[in-house]
Chains A and B, each alone.
Chain A
Amino acid sequence: MSELAIDNISMRFDLPNGSSVQALKNVSLNLKSGELLSVLGPSGCGKTTLLNIVAGFLAPTEGQITLNGDRVVGPSAERGMVFQQGALFEWMSVRENVGFGPRMKGANPTATREKVDHLLDVVGLSEFKEKAVYELSGGMQQRVALARCLANEPDVILMDEPLGALDALTREKMQSLVLKLWKETGKTIILITHSVEEALLLGERLLVMAPRPGRIHKEYRLPFADLGVDQDLREVKKHPEYASTREEILSMIWDMEEEIMGRQEA
């Protein structure tokens, strides 16, 4: 049973001009294997910072993170990342991008090839294996990024607004795909998003963060992700609890934004 434990994390950025920003304060969280957590919050509340700490790109000023009991000290293959955009290697074909992780590990090339073929099939890009990534649309590129992350078989997948740069329709399709992959692979996923709908639809657990200092404001457990696995997402949205939770979270974030504005004016 793998478990991701975020234990009382604080992060303070010391700026060159002497002041400092408290990006995160006393954030604690436990994530069981196979859980899908979506994270919402107003801009600047420390979502990316939190994810970077979990990924191991940043060391927190206080607290620690453990995965399966081992302390996180740097990036590693067990924590895969999917970025908003621009993280694919444009000097490699789609196939080479997806097979990058296994190749770096020195995995058997034939096995890697089969795995890559399978994953590209799953994300619906089998026809584009040999294409250059810059020949693909934004949505296709994100599917390559997903496949590349999965090919490496990480324990935890971290996503920072993976669908943020896509149009509404593509985004909806990608949401279904993420749910499908989540169910099929049973990975632990942390997904940061700006879209309340996306957080509701995809998050088995939903975390709302508050800014200044960045902290956990409220947590929800939601049924929609499970429903969405075999239902059309638009059906899920008709669920009465969906609408009420949505309103609740929207006004929560709205209030936070108001408060930030007020503080700035004062």
Chain B
Amino acid sequence: MTGLIILAVYIAIFVVSAFVLKLIVSQRQDYTSLKTVTFGDESAVTSNGTASVISIVTIFLIWGSFTGSSWLPSILHAPAPFVGETSFDYTLEDANGVTDTATVTVRVMDFGEKTEKFQVDPGEGMAKDDAVSMQASRSVTILFDKNDEATRKEGAKVVAINGTPISNDAPLTLDVGRFALTDKGAISFSAPRGLQMDPIYLPPPEDVWKRGIEIATEGYRNFYLHEHLAYSLFRVIAGFILGCVVGIPLGYAMGLNGWFRGWFDPIVEVMRPVPPLALIPLIIIWFGIGESGKVILLFLASLWIMAIGARSGVSGVKITKIHAAYSLGASKWQIMRHVIIPNSLPEIFTAARVAMGVCWGTVVAAELVAASQGAGMMIMAASKFTLTDIVVMGIILIGVIGFGIDMLMRWAERILVPWKGRG
């Protein structure tokens, strides 16, 4: 329900900001703006930077709004759930048709506060007053007859709330909240829930931020935040480098020699579709949960990708280039060094980007399974104690770091192989 509302708000912001920006931002005057055919022309579609900024702001806005963030003015908050004391009357009818009315006082505790039993004066009559404490945005089952003179076992039942009739198949929604009767006749009550999320499901951004600072300065599970991340990164880089050191020469050999290709093709082609995650159990059995197991897992994750990238880089060299080099007097080794290797670099870089992405995903997954430090271990340990703020922070950091790695690879690609795609 809340999910649909959030989706609707999101779509509304998407559409409205698109229209508003179209109105206030004047059209760019460049070559692309002079094109009359733009629909279907991929080159005419440039990523709109403003849209990216609004997109990120929107995510934080919605996040803050639906978690009641203190970073947002309360006017932007989604309706909060009812918190505080409220009460309602119920009318009890015993087996003989005699009725009596009693009051239930309900204390609704805010998110994160504990419920506490309390007492009220039971009052007079067949039905006695009750006191119930409950959590915001939840529902509570009220066993009203514990202190009543007529109990449900004896055939008594609730017939009205605040004077409005209620029965098993006719639940009630009043200003006080929603009422329903359980199969056994108890009152199920929920105070107005509002639209905000319980921080156990999604903490507000400031909580995540504070938790991040806390882990960065005080640590979590014996390690500081940067240590957790550094462990993950170290594993990725070690595994990736090993994968390159073995995979690239292997790929070259497969591209240049029929025996190598025949020998390794079945192995590479069978191992490639095996997701690295499927290797985790075997790796744990063989190498335990220590560093070496993880590095070997990442080595295997990148090995096939790099080997295939290097192989297709070699196979992709145009025969005219090789012929030209031979006619210019180059030796086999010189052709390797000056033609085949540079020609394969763009493919190798593409493979490296894929491999880094896969490795980063795999390391997190491996740490989820077994590790005593690392980004994945951090969020897994936190989830066991429903420390959702750590989980969310971990997910954001994993995403940001993965993105950072890819940006770095792209930057290196631009610097090192500027001829990519220009052959």
Known contacts A75-B326, A79-B327; A100 and B338 CB within 8 A of each other: yes
Residues of B within 8 A of A (CB): 318, 320-321, 323-331, 334, 338-339, 342-343, 345, 417-419, 422-423
Count of A interface residues, CB-CB < 8 Å: 28
CB contacts (< 8 Å) of A154 on chain B: these are 327
Please choose the segment from A84-92, A219-227, A238-246 that sits at the chain B interface, where 4 or more of its residues have CB less than 8 A away: A84-92
Given contacts A104-B334, A134-B419, A134-B423, contact A87 B321 (CB under 8 A): yes
Known: A86-B423, A91-B342, A91-B345. A100 touches B328 (CB 8 A): yes
A125 to chain B: closest CB distance in Å?
A: 18
List 15 contacting pairs A-B, 8 Å CB cutoff, sorted by A.
A57-B326, A76-B329, A81-B327, A86-B320, A87-B318, A87-B323, A91-B342, A91-B345, A100-B325, A100-B330, A101-B328, A104-B328, A104-B330, A132-B422, A158-B327
Contact indicator per residue, chain A 49-75, by CB within 8 Å of chain B (1) or not (0): 000000111000000000000000011
* Contact between chains at B329 and A152 (CB < 8 Å): yes
B329 touches A132 (CB 8 A): no
Report A-chain residues with C-beta under 8 Å of the C-beta of B345.
91
Is the CB of A148 closer than 8 A to any CB of chain B?
yes
Residues A152 and B328 in contact, CB atoms below 8 Å apart = yes
| In contact, B327 and A89 (Cβ under 8 angstroms) | no
Report yes or no: B329 in contact with A91, Cβ–Cβ below 8 A.
no
Neighbour of B323 across the interface among A77, A83, A88, A132, CB < 8 A: A83
Residue of B nearest to A85 (CB): B320
A234 at the interface (CB under 8 A from B): no
A263 at the interface (CB under 8 A from B): no
Contact A89–B328 (Cβ < 8 Å): no
CA distance A89 to B330 in the complex (A): 13
User: Which residues of chain A are near B423, meaning CB under 8 Å?
Assistant: 86, 90, 134
Given A75-B326, A101-B328, A104-B334, are A91 and B419 also a contact pair (CB < 8 Å)?
yes
Chain B residues with CB under 8 A of A83: 320, 323-324
Closest to B327 in A: A81
Which residues from chain A contact B330 at a C-beta distance below 8 Å? 100, 104
Please tell me if the beta carbons of B419 and A80 are within 8 angstroms of each other in the complex.
no
With the chains together, A85 CA to B320 CA distance in Å?
Answer: 8
Given A134-B422, A152-B328, also A89-B323 (CB < 8 A)? no
Q: Nearest-CB distance from A13 to chain B (Å)?
A: 16
Are B323 and A75 touching (Cβ within 8 A)?
yes
A86 touches B327 (CB 8 A): no
Which one, B331, B343, B417, contacts A104 given CB within 8 A?
B331
Alpha-carbon separation in the docked complex, A90 to B317 (Å): 12
- Indicate which residue in A74, A89, A104, A152 contacts B321 across the interface (CB closer than 8 Å): A89
What is the bound-complex CA distance between A87 and B339, given in angstroms?
11
B419 contacts A90, C-beta separation under 8 Å: yes
> Within 8 Å CB of A55, what residues of B?
323, 327
Decide yes or no: A132 and B418 within 8 Å by CB, A80-B328, A89-B339, A152-B328 being known contacts. yes
Residues of B within 8 A of A56 (CB): 326
Choose one: B326, B343, B419; the contact of A132 (CB below 8 Å). B419
Q: Which of B318, B326, B419 contacts A86 (CB 8 A)?
A: B318
Interchain residue pairs A-B with the least CB separation, the first 7: A77-B329, A134-B422, A75-B326, A101-B328, A91-B342, A90-B419, A87-B324
Beyond A132-B418, A132-B419, A134-B423, is A89–B329 a contact (Cβ under 8 Å)? Answer: no
How far, in whole Å, are A55 and B330 apart by their CA atoms in the complex?
Answer: 14
A90 touches B323 (CB 8 A): no
CA A56 – CA B334 in complex, angstroms? 18
Assess the B320–A104 pair: CB atoms within 8 A.
no
Q: How far is the CA of A158 from the CA of B345 in the complex (A)?
A: 30
Closest Cβ of chain A to B157, distance in Å, is 86
A26-57 toward B: CB 8 Å interface, digit per residue (1/0)? 00000000000000000000000000000111
Bitwise, A103-115 to B at CB < 8 A (1) or not (0) is 0110000000000
Task: Check B422–A90 contact: CB distance below 8 A.
Answer: yes
User: Chain A residues with Cβ under 8 A from B342's Cβ?
Assistant: 89, 91
Knowing A86-B423, A132-B418, say if A104 contacts B324 (CB, 8 Å).
no
CA distance A75 to B423 in the complex (A): 24
List A contacts of B327 (CB < 8 A).
55, 75-77, 79-81, 149, 154, 158
A240 to B339, CA, bound (A): 48
The complex places the Cα of A104 from the Cα of B324 at a distance, in Å, of 13
Closest to B318 in A: A86
User: Closest chain A residue to B343 by CB distance?
Assistant: A91
The distance in angstroms between the C-alpha atoms of A158 and B320, with both chains bound, is 13
Complex Cα gap A89–B320 (Å): 10
* In the complex, residue of chain A having the shortest beta-carbon distance to the beta carbon of B421: A134
Q: Which residues of A sit under 8 angstroms from B318, Cβ to Cβ?
A: 86-87
A87 in contact with B320 given A79-B327, A132-B419, A152-B328 (CB within 8 Å): yes
Within 8 A of B (CB), among A128-180: 132, 134, 148-149, 152, 154, 158
Residues of A within 8 A of B339 (CB): 89
The CA-CA distance from A148 to B324 in the complex, in Å, is 10
Return A34 CB to nearest CB of chain B, in Å.
20
Complexed CA–CA distance, A196 and B334 (Å): 39
Contact (Cβ within 8 A) B323 A57: yes
Q: Name the B residues within 8 Å of A88 (CB-CB).
A: 324
Q: A57-B326, A152-B328 are in contact. List 12 more A-B contacts (CB 8 A).
A: A57-B323, A75-B326, A80-B327, A86-B320, A87-B318, A88-B324, A91-B345, A100-B325, A101-B329, A104-B329, A104-B330, A132-B419
